Amino acid sequence: MAVMEPVSENVVLRRTNMFRKLTYLVSSALLLAVVTPGVGADPSLMGWWAFDGHALDSSGNERHATLHGDPLFVPGVFGQALELDGDDHLTIDGYKGVLGTSPFSIVAWVRTTNSAIEQIMHWGADVGEQRVEFRINSNRLRISHGSGNVQGDTVLTDGEWYHVAVAVIENASASSGDVTFYVNGEDDTRVSSDPERWNIVANDTLDLTIGYRPTRGDRPFIGNLDEVGLYDKVLAQEEVQQLMLAGGGRPFPLALSPEPADGAVLEATWANLSWSPGAFAVSHDVYFGGSFDDVNSGTADTFVGNQGEATLIVGFPGFPAPGGLATGTTYYWRVDEVNEADPNSPWKGDVWSFSIPSKIAHNLDPADGSTFVDPDVTLSWNGGFAAKLHNVYFGDNFDDVNDGAPAAFKGAVTETTFTPGALENGKVYYWRVDEFDGAGTNEGNVVSFETFPFLVNPITDPNLVGWWKLEEGAGSVAVVDSSGYGRHGDVIGNATWIAGYDGGAMEFDGSGYVQMKDYEGVLGTHALSVSMWVKTSVTSPQQLLWWGTQSGGQRVEFRIHSNGHIRMGAGNGQVEGTTDVTDGRWHHVAATVIDNATNSSTDIRVFVDGQDDTIESTDTDPFNLTAGLGVTIGFRPSQGDRGLSGAVDNVRIYDEVLTQSEIEQIMRIDLSLAWNPSPHTGSTPDIVTALPLTWTKGDNAGQHDVYFGLDKDAVANADSSDTTGVYRGRQSDTNHTPAEGVEWAGGP
């Protein structure tokens, strides 16, 4: 999640004397030039310290900071930033902070390599700990009050810039439901629950402090701070993201916080739409309709009108959709904020949506045509609109289920689940659900699924404790474990079966994943190795493999970091590679962990495409895993985030340390086949470097039949009897140059 190259803007002050230790002097004329607030300043902004060569408050509240020690002004994310070396901090003289049980939010850019506890902002009384401590603790965000605290999840002490924020609701407890962290605009909150209530009391002798804990004289921030702000409201995620991108404490001009929430499902035929106005809004242009494209384009039939209120009723006579909202329909709406006095008006808003469910049962799981379904399956569905009872039909005969035969009727249930009992392996079953809404019965559709076939995969390598080839293909809702241990997995959410590096593969969109619910992975301090093929072009943090327990950090996190490098770790530490694997090509990635490991490079090694890719590092945090959620591919289930947007193939877990040569062999998959092609699969070389074609021979191969052409299927299906020119002959060398060469923009 690190931001490697932050965008700078023009600033009021030039970057002069940025590396000189400064004496804090400023004339009143300069103060006015720098900090006069613009039109539409956010009244909830209590203070904003940009550190652009000064420590003045640009919120308009004149809460200017006093510098203590000898901090430097250095290049920052926006203009300049403050550099603190351990004996520096700032106080906002006379300002006690947001008090009582009021909501508040803090934002800042931070950069540090210090692993000690570092205070970002502090205010309140030390007695009874009725204070705010927003800090970096154990390399991650933490905010404390009383005896409670809430924690973030991203390691922030790697010397890169991070935008951090915390939002605390009114009358909050020290729980993740009331306190939300953001790192680089994304939710970073660890799940927690603590009944300790926020009630901040002013400190009679100490004022709000940045970069230090004044009550104990410790926890100095060592590193850089930029664009620090404090609000007496809960910032929405959109606002945090806008502040991250724009800086300067600029007000958010767009409508936000839609109600109903974007994507909500409503069991009603009318709705009262509402939103929070943008900072400059005087009135609102509202659009509403049943087509995303029409609402997004603002076609005439979707324009409701310009209005002063931030609410709109739909589904009643005299309002949009006067005949009522239709069941089984998704509606879209948009609010553009208008202020005729501002040349930037109107500000086009995002398109939001909500849905009214169908009257029939929908989102049936297993879906129609599903294969590899667990014989112990529990059927589930979304109930129809206003459904009171659900009549379930189930059996192995289509006609019985379709006709509603007594033998297929399993009864009326009040829950939207049904367990048919243990089913036979490798058999097709049919089911449907009819919904009774009190006025009548709405008949559902018949769907079918096939249960998991009876498989016998012998254990050929006892140390290979999980092997998911991902060859099942379209319709499968499960993945087969080929290790012989029977640790099959379920496909959850949006996932697509595609052609992979070798045979089939699975592609995720950031929300789907695979989970082995009955396999909790290699545990304790036991040695292990993991490997897979992966292809992605997304640079945000993405989980490849996860298992264990989030609490205490006793889990495996094998993932792609925001810089595109592979990371392997547990607890509060990790080891990282050097290669960016987010180039949209297939890469083989692996990691090994020795017995009783720490999170250091001496104990953990990372491999990319068969080569040791490890950055040397030292971290004494132990690698000690406890049972929790099952092994998961492509997602972090403990936090519900870090979904993979990309494809994976041939995933393996071993309970031993693999050697580099063994990892190279695993890359080959089938040792009898030619491998290591150049140009590699999916590459786009120029016509000079494309030839000759080269490869590494399969084990025991003496000669090689070569096939080449522009038609993928023709090459795949050809054999040595081919007469179309695809077959190029049998040879001893492991290179080949087609006589016709290659052309610019040639290939599939």
pLDDT of 41 reads 62
Single out the residue in 220, 246, 272 at which a domain terminates.
246
| Domain assignment of residue 42, yes or no | no
Return the structure tokens found at 440. 């009548």
| Domain assignment of residue 484, yes or no | yes
State whether 318 and 223 are in the same domain: no
pLDDT of 747 reads 60
Single out the residue in 668, 702, 725 at which a domain terminates.
668
CA-to-CA separations, 569 to 497, 602, 604, in angstroms, rounded: 29, 13, 8
Report the CATH number that the domain containing residue 430 is assigned in CATH. 2.60.40.10
State whether 349 and 368 are in the same domain: no
Helix or strand run (H / E) with residue 674: none
CA 28 and chain centroid, separation? 47
Single out the residue in 333, 356, 379 at which a domain terminates.
356
State whether 488 and 623 are in the same domain: yes
Domains identified in the chain, total number: 5
State whether 493 and 439 are in the same domain: no
State whether 110 and 127 are in the same domain: yes
Q: CA–CA separation, 63 vs 92, rounded Å?
A: 6
Q: pLDDT digits over 66-114, tens only?
A: 999 999 999 999 889 999 999 999 999 999 999 999 999 999 999 999 8
Report the CATH number that the domain containing residue 114 is assigned in CATH. 2.60.120.200
Return the structure tokens found at 419. 């367990």
- Number of Cβ within a 10 Å radius of residue 459: 12
CB 615 within 8 A of CB 601: yes
State whether 720 and 629 are in the same domain: no
| Domain assignment of residue 350, yes or no | yes
pLDDT of 456 reads 66
Mean pLDDT by groups of 10 residues along the chain of 748 residues? 34 26 30 40 89 92 95 92 95 96 97 92 89 93 91 89 96 93 93 89 95 93 96 93 79 86 93 92 97 96 96 96 96 97 94 96 92 91 95 97 96 96 94 96 96 82 96 85 92 91 92 92 96 93 92 86 91 88 96 95 96 92 89 91 93 97 86 79 76 86 91 89 93 91 71
| Domain assignment of residue 41, yes or no | no
Q: Which own/partner contact pairs does 345-349 have at CB distance under 8 Å and 24+ positions apart?
A: 345/280, 346/285, 347/253, 347/254, 347/278, 347/280, 347/281, 348/254, 349/254, 349/255
CA-to-CA separations, 210 to 2, 37, 116, 205, in angstroms, rounded: 22, 22, 16, 16
State whether 430 and 566 are in the same domain: no
12 SS3 class: coil
State whether 368 and 336 are in the same domain: no
pLDDT of 19 reads 24
Q: pLDDT digits over 669-714, tens only?
A: 777 788 778 887 666 788 778 889 998 888 788 899 999 998 888 9
State whether 85 and 215 are in the same domain: yes
Is the pTM higher than 0.85? The answer reads no
State whether 399 and 546 are in the same domain: no
| Domain assignment of residue 19, yes or no | no
| Domain assignment of residue 22, yes or no | no
What does 118-163 look like in DSSP terms, one character per residue? EEEEEEE-SGGG-EEEEEEETTEEEEEETTEEEEB-S---SSSBEE
Q: Domain residues for 320?
A: 256-356
Length of the chain equals: 748
pLDDT of 3 reads 37
Of 520, 508, 578, 571, which Cα lies nearest the Cα of 544? Answer: 508
Contacts of 197 (CB under 8 A, 6+ apart): 101, 146, 171, 172, 173, 174
pLDDT of 5 reads 33
| Domain assignment of residue 33, yes or no | no
- φ, ψ dihedrals at 76, nearest 5°: -120, -160
| Domain assignment of residue 472, yes or no | yes
State whether 189 and 273 are in the same domain: no
State whether 293 and 403 are in the same domain: no
